[in-house]
């Protein structure tokens, strides 16, 4: 049983000016110029961080993001300077736009729930009548959300983004263009791997007047994938689509009477189940990237991470 996972870190780097701990990632700011992002092995579902970490999960997410950021840098520059460790990315500190660019190629997830409840307009975009869950939209639709520091992100229409001054019109037009082009690139890459990129989200920021793509992209935590083989047959037969995401973890929790509601207790996750989740994440990596996953040395994972970051910062700062 593999137990040496990154559950949390407590480092103190030279020049450190800020530290932020999210559900899954921990971000150290250096000299107010660089961000050191450690993708931990924590896993969240229903807005709750589960008590046990999943070995190699952070490495999977970090390396998928690194690969796709590299594969889209001809469309828009991104925040990455280097990836000094399998679970770490160091990049430019950008001022994030307070909007997340969500793009959907298919009627799934939140869009489907709104549609099922009778809505035909989502974030100001019309959705055709007569669609069923997981049908393909005639064209991908942009459904941006606010980016909240606390609480849930909310759907927002383009006019409100502009009128509230969240993004200037000039910049927003660029964000829309980048979002469509990156999604098309992701769709093409997924298709080569026998996958459908269903929907995803992108975050952007600025340094001065320059726009950068930030955060992670096209990972199973930020995107939904279907297997393309048998997709149409399943649609025609009104069957659920075969998904490549962490949906199986949510399903397990639901079966064990947990959906993050008040009074519910997180079910005990056995070592066997932890290993199963780890194996599924590795399977996701290999499907999405087409590369063989190489497990990093986790004999002393925190020491490895800290040492690699320090070495990189010595050269960068």
Q: Does domain 96-243 have CATH number 3.40.50.1970?
A: no
Residue 142 has pLDDT above 90, yes or no: yes
Residue 18 has pLDDT above 60, yes or no: yes
CATH 3.30.200.20 domain span(s) along the chain: 16-93+247-316
**What is the number of other CB atoms lying within 10 angstroms of the CB of residue 233?**
9
Q: What is the pLDDT of residue 250?
A: 87
Residue 148 has pLDDT above 80, yes or no: no
CB under 8 Å to 176, separation ≥6 — which residues?
Answer: 101, 142
Cα(311)–Cα(317) distance, integer angstroms: 10
CB under 8 Å to 156, separation ≥6 — which residues?
Answer: 99, 123, 144, 145, 146, 166
Cα(244)–Cα(108) distance, integer angstroms: 14
CATH 3.30.470.20 domain span(s) along the chain: 96-243
Cα(57)–Cα(283) distance, integer angstroms: 11
pLDDT class of 150 with cuts at 50, 70, 90: low
Q: Return the CATH number of the domain spanning residue range 16-93+247-316.
A: 3.30.200.20
pTM: 0.92
Q: What is the pLDDT of residues 92-122, one digit of tens each?
A: 999 999 999 999 999 999 999 999 999 999 9
Q: What is the pLDDT of residues 224-264, one digit of tens each?
A: 999 999 999 999 999 999 988 888 898 899 899 999 889 99
Q: What is the pLDDT of residues 210-219, one digit of tens each?
A: 999 999 999 9
Q: What is the pLDDT of residues 173-204, one digit of tens each?
A: 999 999 999 999 999 999 999 999 999 999 99
């Amino acid at each position: 049983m593999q137990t040496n996972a990154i559950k949390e870190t407590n480092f103190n780097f030279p020049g450190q000016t800020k530290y932020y701990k999210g559900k899954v990632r921990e971000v150290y700011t250096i000299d107010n110029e660089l961000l050191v992002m450690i993708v931990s092995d924590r896993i969240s579902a229903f807005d709750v961080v589960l008590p046990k970490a999943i070995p190699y999960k952070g490495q999977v997410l970090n390396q998928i993001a690194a690969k796709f950021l590299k594969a889209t840098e001809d469309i828009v520059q991104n925040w990455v300077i280097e990836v000094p460790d399998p679970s770490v990315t160091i990049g430019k500190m950008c001022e994030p736009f307070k909007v997340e660019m969500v793009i959907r190629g298919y009627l799934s997830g939140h869009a489907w729930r709104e549609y099922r409840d009778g809505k035909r307009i989502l974030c100001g975009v019309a959705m055709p009548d007569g669609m069923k869950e997981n049908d393909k939209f005639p064209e991908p639709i942009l459904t941006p959300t606010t980016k909240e520091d606390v609480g849930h992100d909310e759907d927002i229409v383009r006019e409100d983004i502009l009128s509230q001054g969240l993004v200037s019109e000039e910049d927003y037009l660029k964000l829309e263009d980048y979002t469509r082009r990156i999604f098309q690139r992701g769709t093409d890459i997924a298709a080569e791997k026998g996958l459908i990129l269903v929907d995803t989200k992108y975050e952007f920021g600025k340094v001065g007047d320059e726009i950068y793509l930030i955060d992670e992209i096209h990972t199973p935590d930020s995107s939904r994938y279907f297997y393309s083989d048998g997709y149409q047959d399943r649609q025609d037969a009104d069957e659920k689509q075969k998904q490549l995401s962490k949906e199986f973890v949510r399903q397990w929790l639901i079966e064990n009477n947990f959906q993050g509601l008040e009074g519910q207790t997180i079910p005990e996750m056995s070592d066997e189940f932890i290993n199963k989740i780890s194996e599924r994440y590795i399977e996701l990596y290999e499907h999405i990237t087409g590369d063989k996953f190489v497990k990093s040395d986790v004999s002393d994972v925190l020491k490895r991470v800290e040492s690699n970051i320090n070495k990189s910062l010595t050269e960068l700062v």
